[in-house]
Copies of this chain bind each other. A is one copy, B any other.
Amino acid sequence: GYGRFGLVYDADGANSNTHESALDHRFRLTVTGISETDNGLKFEGRIRWEANDGGFSSNAANAASVGGAGFAVTTGGFRLDVGHVSDVFDSGDVLNWGGHGAGYTYFQEQSSNFNGFRKTGFGAGAAAAQTIKGRYTVSGFTGSISYTLNDTASTTDEYWQIGAGYSFGDHRVGAAYGDSDIAGSQWALGVDGSFGDFSYAVLVGDNDTAADTMFGASGSYAISAATSINANFSSGGAAGNDTSYGLGVRHSLGGGVTLGAGIGSASDGDTVADAGVQFNF
């Protein structure tokens, strides 16, 4: 799990927040139970707790919430996920969705304008529908396919997703496609990788719900072994969206502790910023 805390700011032009700045925190704890058969098949099950502050609407320290269970079976290059688990778009199997986000809370990412995608995963909440996903990796190739059962709210909306990716050297290309009865089809293409100290990611996608094709790009440059700067932008999506962008810096203190800060402009035009620390345990 991890803990993080710091200050977050939203200029609040379009929102109705109680305050424009907040003392942010998050504590996340994932418990994973693992068993391995005599022939090397690995079974995992996990649940997660997460406690957050009250955000821009209150100064509370909210009680932790707990989620549903996710399972995985792994053998060689094959992995099957069942239950409260990621679909293809959420999994990162073939696409780097968020890229190099800004701020210690990753408040602005290359995917910030990517509205209307069906994309769900494991977390500290219940899942309205279970997902089954299979992933196979051989040499640089990864294929991934998922099926999400019809959910309780919209009983006919089961959906399929499929994706493929290929890695060559320090670079990777990937594509994913999905279809559901209610939300229609969606697709995304991505490239990510690194040239020495510079890392990059690019993402383009569209779906039947969003007004405009979405495009995003992000990069990070390591100015020393412990410190990096990053930048990203995201465009398109819902009808009234502005192009959003962010700038950030991250500094590792070692031992899993990282300081981070960022500033940017959100898709609703507000100036947003944060500064804080995350520690992994």
A contacts, CB < 8 Å to B: 1-3, 5, 18, 23, 25-27, 29, 31, 33-39, 41, 43-47, 49, 51-54, 58-71, 82-84, 125-130, 132, 149-152, 155, 253-257, 277, 279-281
Contact = CB atoms under 8 A, between A and B. Distances in A.
Contacts of A35: 3, 255-257, 279-281
A270 to B, nearest CB: 22
Contact of A58 (B60, B152, B254, B257): B152
Contacts of A46: 27
A49 B51 contact: no
Contacts of A83: 5, 23, 25, 53, 61
A125 B51 CA distance: 11
Contact of A82 (B5, B38, B64, B126): B5
Contacts of A254: 37-39
A58 B154 CA distance: 11
Contact of A61 (B31, B43, B53, B68): B68
A43 to B, nearest CB: 4
A79 to B, nearest CB: 14
Contacts of A129: 59-61
Contact of A37 (B5, B37, B257): B257
A191 B279 CA distance: 38
Contact of A130 (B25, B43, B70, B82): B25
